[in-house]
Amino acid sequence: MPDYQAPLRDLRFVMDEMFDFPSHYAALPGGDDASPDVVAAILEEGARFSREVLLPLNQSGDREGCLLEGGDVKAPKGFKQAYQQYVEGGWPSLSAEPEFGGQGLPHSLGMVLSEMICATNLAWGMYPGLSHGAADALRHHGSDAQKATYLTKLVEGVWTGTMCLTEPHCGTDLGLIKTRAVPSDDGSYTVTGTKIFISAGEHDLAENIVHLVLAKLPDAPQGSKGISLFVVPKYLPNEAGEPGERNGVVCGSLEHKMGIHGNATCVMNFDAAKGYLVGAPNKGLACMFTMMNVARIGVGIQGLGLTEASFQNSLAYARDRLQMRALSGPKAPEKAADPIIVHPDVRRMLLTQKAFAEGGRMLVLYTAQMVDVVEHGQDAAERERAETLLGLLTPIVKAFLTEVGFEATNEGVQVFGGHGFIQEWGMEQLVRDARITRLYEGTTGIQALDLLGRKVLMSQGETLKAFTKEIHKFCQAEADNPALAEFIKPLAKLNAEWGELTMGVGMKAMQDRDEVGAASVDYLMYSGYVTLAYLFARAAKHASAALDGDDRAFYQAKLDTASFYYQRLLPRTRAHAAMVQAGGGSLMAISAEDFGLGFEI
């Protein structure tokens, strides 16, 4: 069975040394509650829960899957008991508002816990994971009555939440949804329609499930401007606020999937179900984006968690597996062969995983600080800056970390060789589970359009400049630091090129809007690599300053990983930049009718 140890030492480095989380927490309202001792205890207990409770259920849950009987779904054995422990431990309420029963701790702490959960049991983690987004949507847009009815239960974890967006015919184009909501005399709405791909849409872990559903009113405008948001509970709350009458919502079927078998991915049928409008009519998409942005960062964390899990198990295997002799001569002459970790190509695969795990962790925690500031910052200018950077980085977190997460898990299988393809080792499950992360909550292509089209070009590049100025100032400040010589010059060059590529796409897009779509994915990947380069340079600054301390091996490894990233992964920007500059001509040259020349359709 795969193993996992929460990377607490690396977390301490990133949180305490790189980003000074103790001072960050102290500046937030109620920050005294997030003292270093409290944070350490939370991380250690989260590590224990993830390894001892969730990890043993990961492979069994994958093999067993979920069972649908008469509209009711049973999660794999042990999932319900693990969820009860999760609730009893107070984990769902960790970063929720105290007025709704939460502990009021910073959101970033919950994000750190999420990495551990995703690394040990992604399918299980999706059951409570979506509840945070549902609670956020209701907190920002729900009425006082809706907050009183649903929020406390979601925060406690005794109820879970979902978001019901897409339908069989519309995919990402939500303007095409057909689900209808008809007003009733009592102020509620009758919701009818079918939603697909609903994660945790039906299960037996919690006593009630709160669905947030996109639907259209009878007089709604066409397209996305006519979408409204409704809260539709599985059981209608009675006067005491407890689950009462069963609502007209049922799981019609479970999807048979490539991965995340332990999570119920449902087709949900709403048959004259009673729902309640959240926010203003026809403004549902804006309300749902509150939930989706939380979910997108969460999916990026899923990519990070799977990367870390793949790296740890690959490393353990590479240290033990004996195969051939090193080309430079035996490294373990007392053994029949050398451990495969001595071979350069195995080290390439291990270091690729290590770099993406450590770089991804820096990116998530850098972003997590902004989430804290946006939610609780006291200074208006700081909140505005954090919100700008968060808007820019969210699609990068979601798409880049899931793309490289899938790459990392594939490399994990490769390290194991034929054994990686065999189920018992658990590596092929990581690949299957990782594959969905590139799809849900907006595919990589959708995130790329959001980044380049909406966040960068629609702001005339100002959103990007807020970040590239920060990188520029860092490069200026460290230009004469000999310990960072190998990092600063290439980072500064890429930072300048980032703006030039943006301007080039913008100029082409003025003539042909398809140029945005043609460049977007390569632009996002380029952006991700440069962002991690900046963070690795910052990490190298702190590591180089600490080499004379007691933990020299850790800091030297950090510097070596940064060097590997710059020498072996960052050059990928050259290909992405070339493809961005190539434009869309070759993509659009063949007509749709001529695509299939050479075979019959």
- R_g (Cα) of the chain, nearest Å: 24
CA atoms within 13 Å, Cβ hemisphere of 587: 13
Domain boundaries, the chain: 8-67+74-141, 144-148+157-283, 460-585
pLDDT for the residue 598 = 83
> pLDDT (tens digit, 9 = 90+) per residue, 41-90?
999 999 999 999 999 999 999 999 999 998 899 999 999 999 999 999 99
- What is the reported pLDDT for 172? 79
Q: Determine the pLDDT at residue 224.
A: 87
Mean pLDDT of 306-324: 98
Q: Is 374 helix (H, G, I), strand (E, B) or coil?
A: helix
Instruction: Point out which residues pair with 543 in neighbouring strands.
Output: none
* pLDDT tens digit sequence for 514-571: 999 999 999 999 999 999 999 999 999 999 999 998 999 999 999 999 999 999 999 9
pLDDT confidence band for 288 (50 / 70 / 90): confident
Q: What is the pLDDT of residue 169?
A: 87
Residue 76 region, left (φ>0) first, then alpha (ψ -120 to 50), else beta? beta
What's residue 286's pLDDT?
87
CATH code, residues 8-67+74-141: 1.10.540.10
Q: Which residue has the tokens 């794999």?
A: 76
Backbone angles phi and psi of 339, in degrees to 5: -65, 145
pLDDT category, 292, cuts 50, 70, 90? confident
The tokens for 392 are 């820019």
Mean pLDDT computed over 116-135 = 95
Question: Which tokens is 30 given?
Answer: 């109620």
Q: How far is CA 501 from CA 59, 364, 459, 588, 589, in A?
A: 44, 25, 15, 21, 23
Do residues 304 and 311 make contact, with C-beta atoms less than 8 angstroms apart? Answer: no
Q: Tokens 């500064």 map to which residue?
A: 492
Tell me the residue ranges of DSSP E strands in 342-490. Answer: none
Region 503-510 average pLDDT: 97
Written as one letter, the residue type at 403 is E
- CA 383-385-390 angle, 5° bins: 90
The structure tokens listed for 130 are 């979506």
Q: What is the pLDDT of residues 347-403, one digit of tens each?
A: 999 999 999 999 999 999 999 999 999 999 999 999 999 999 999 999 999 999 999
Q: What is the pLDDT of residues 210-241, one digit of tens each?
A: 999 999 999 999 988 999 999 999 999 999 99
Residue 290: the pLDDT is 77
Phi, psi of 100, rounded to the nearest 5 degrees: -110, 20
Is 243 strand, coil or helix? strand
Does the pLDDT at position 596 exceed 90? Answer: no
Catalytic residue numbers? 441
Band of the pLDDT at 600, cuts 50, 70, 90? low
pTM above 0.85? yes
State mean pLDDT over 472-481.
Answer: 98
Distance CA 93, CA 97 (A): 8
- The string of pLDDT tens digits covering residues 521-534 is 999 999 999 999 99
pLDDT at 148 over 70: yes
Q: What is the predicted pLDDT for the residue at 457?
A: 97
Per-residue confidence band for 245, with pLDDT thresholds at 50, 70 and 90: very high
pLDDT of residue 187: 95
Q: What average pLDDT does range 321-329 have in this prediction?
A: 95
Report pLDDT digits (tens) over 430-473. Answer: 999 999 999 999 999 999 999 999 999 999 999 999 999 999 99
Name every residue whose Cβ is closer than 8 Å to that of residue 236 and which is 6 or more positions away in sequence: 243, 244, 245, 246, 247, 274
Average pLDDT of the chain, as a whole number? 96
Is 144-148+157-283 CATH 2.40.110.20?
A: yes
Q: What is the pLDDT of residue 30?
A: 76
The pLDDT, as a whole number, for residue 601 is 58
